[in-house]
Amino acid sequence: MKGWDSPSLPKGYVAEPSPVKGETKKMNLVEAIRSGLDIALQTDPTAVVFGEDVAFGGVFRCSVGLQAKYGKSRVFNTPLCEQGILGFGIGLAVHGNTAVAEIQFADYIHPAFDQVVNEAAKFRYRSASLYHCGRLTVRAPYGAVGHGGHYHSQSVESYYAHIPGITVVIPRGPSQAKGLLLSAIRDDNPTFFFEPKALYRAAMEDVPIGDYTLPLSQAEILHEGSDVTVIGYGAQIQPLRQACIVAKEQLGVSCELIDLRTIVPWDEDTVIKSVCKTGRVVVAHEDTFTGGFAGELISTVQAECFLNLEAPIQRVCSWDTPFPMVYEPFYVPSKYRCFEAIKKVVSF
């Protein structure tokens, strides 16, 4: 396709500079997550890490070496029982511990849905703040990976974004993941931390080796623009970057790319300010159209920026079908579909 062979178009993951000052080390996303878990265990004697197979590193090897370093009482395996993992984590957090639970794939959190909706999310509210499980963090790999099929590729963030009392965070790369994970673990609200598994080893960048945090509920403008506000999160930032570059080269369109980072509570102010400037919006995520978080975001933008909008808001999502295996490249919101959405919104 014309324009997609441009020398200025990145061929793979776009590494970013370190978000904080200090000594750095090349890490992929797996190593950055492991470094964050290591620091959490080192700095907080009440912290424990648990889940299916985490004792020997987990299926993606994010916790390799942590049991040997911190002992079997702080890093340990659980039975293959998601509702048990979440229930155990809630109990640990209520009793003052920092509980970091791993669910092997985000697709399999659903058996624990009652524990999340009726226990974790409501503990503080129903006890009038006498008790809470705010030091519970649930890690899980989510999204397309190229070969996962319908049981290992789903984006489930909208289910959990719908629950009052739950924070939902999705990083876009290694340095962001470490800082946001440490913030999530130390935050006094139960947090779901969804990791884009397609980037586990594909994303490599300079990550600070020390202890640092990045703010929750604060979006980041990755590059400023004047014509279109383009919004995404997690792995979707990569195709959006490419679409923005081609839009600039082919159409002369200046895109302002925003990474939400935290889905709930999301940073309305940054998005609204950007939309009031550009007047055009494209939102993209790997989740499906119906019920996806883009609908919530668009509703807010429509209400707050109606008089500033120059065109209907465009939404680029996965199709409303089960996640296919062989047709994954046509199912997820590719760089080509994102570019066509930008083209459509500026041509209105």
Q: Which residues are catalytic?
A: 82, 152
343: left (phi over 0), alpha (psi -120 to 50) or beta: alpha
- Torsion sign across C-alpha atoms 76, 171, 160, 329: negative
Residue holding tokens 């990755």? 222
* 330 phi/psi in degrees, rounded to 5: -95, -15
In the chain the beta strands, taken as DSSP E runs, fall at 24-28, 47-51, 75-77, 98-102, 136-142, 167-169, 191-196, 204-208, 220-223, 228-232, 255-259, 262-264, 281-288, 314-318
Q: Where are the alpha helices (DSSP H) in 95-146?
A: 113-114, 123-126
Give backbone dihedrals phi and psi of 56, rounded to 5 degrees, phi first: -105, 10
Residue with token string 């996640």: 323
In the block, tokens 């509702």 appear at 83
Contact 119, 83 (CB under 8 A): no
Q: Are 318 and 332 in contact (CB under 8 A)?
A: yes
Enumerate residues 6+ apart whose C-beta is below 8 A from 238.
13, 14, 172, 199
Residue 190 CB: number of other CB atoms within 10 A? 29
| Paired tokens of 33 | 């997550």
The angle subtended at Cα 32 by Cα 30 and Cα 36, nearest 5°, is 115
The two three-digit tokens of residue 46, written as one number: 């009440």
Q: Which two tokens stand for residue 157?
A: 């963030």
